[in-house]
Amino acid sequence: MSPSTREVIRWGQYASAAGCLTGKSGNLSVRDGAFMAITASGSFLGNLRPEDVIRCSLLDGRAETGKPSMESEMHRLLYEALPEADSVFHSSPFYSTLLACTGAQLPLDLLPETMAYIQGVVRIPYFHPGSPALAQATASRLGLGEVGLLKNHGVIMAARSLEEAVVGVETFEILCRMLVVGRAAGLPLQQLPNGTRADFLDHLARLRSGSPVCTKA
């Protein structure tokens, strides 16, 4: 089993256990040189076998064997548009998809986790799943580490690793659940003050680099 196949299987299992999937919806891929390793059409991410991971050319999308996910062109175009992206995760978790069917505001500055793991939220117009129009619309709008909210469809993220992509989608689903449940209960959710996100990201960068962290009084 190749390292790419092993990685896709591992994070497919994680995504399923974390509640990021609905039935057999969802697809994962990793960049593998001039190819991508992507889940097969109709596969269940929570129980992938090595033969459920298909190698496709990043040049023209052709599969070496088998039938890749219907969204393989969306993955391929994202790798083309985002040279730093090494992984893509697309799924339809319940609360995220619920809010994809609305025009509700989705503030990231409610939680440290959303500020840390998600670079932004981009709304993408509706096009039929698996269509060239959806692939092109997504690749032309989505940035690295951003959540793409596919209208009336689901979410997608391109990131430097499958860990970043899957955890980003998982974190966004937690945010969406908080928003839906909180608003239904009439709880006034309070966003953090302006400037908190930029300050927090600087704080994280200092922690990761080992630099001294100054706490404002």
Selected from 3.40.50.970, 3.20.20.80, 3.90.550.10, 3.40.225.10, the CATH number assigned to the domain covering 3-189 reads: 3.40.225.10
What pLDDT is stored for residue 91 in this prediction?
97
**Inter-CA distances, 149 with 76, 134, 137, Å:** 18, 12, 12
Tell me the per-residue pLDDT of 48-64, one tens digit each, with 9 for 90 and over. Answer: 999 999 999 999 999 99
Tell me the per-residue pLDDT of 139-153, one tens digit each, with 9 for 90 and over. Answer: 999 999 999 999 999
| Band (209; pLDDT cuts 50, 70, 90) | confident
Q: Which strands form 27-32's sheet, in the order they lie side by side? A: 53-57, 35-39, 27-32, 87-91, 154-159, 146-150, 120-124
Res 86 pLDDT > 70: yes
Tell me the per-residue pLDDT of 96-152, one tens digit each, with 9 for 90 and over. Answer: 999 999 999 999 999 999 999 999 999 999 999 999 999 999 999 999 999 999 999
Supply the DSSP string of 184-213, one letter for each residue. HTT----PPPTTHHHHHHHHHHHHHHT---
- For the chain, the structural domain boundaries read 3-189
**Inter-CA distances, 80 with 8, 74, 120, Å:** 20, 10, 20
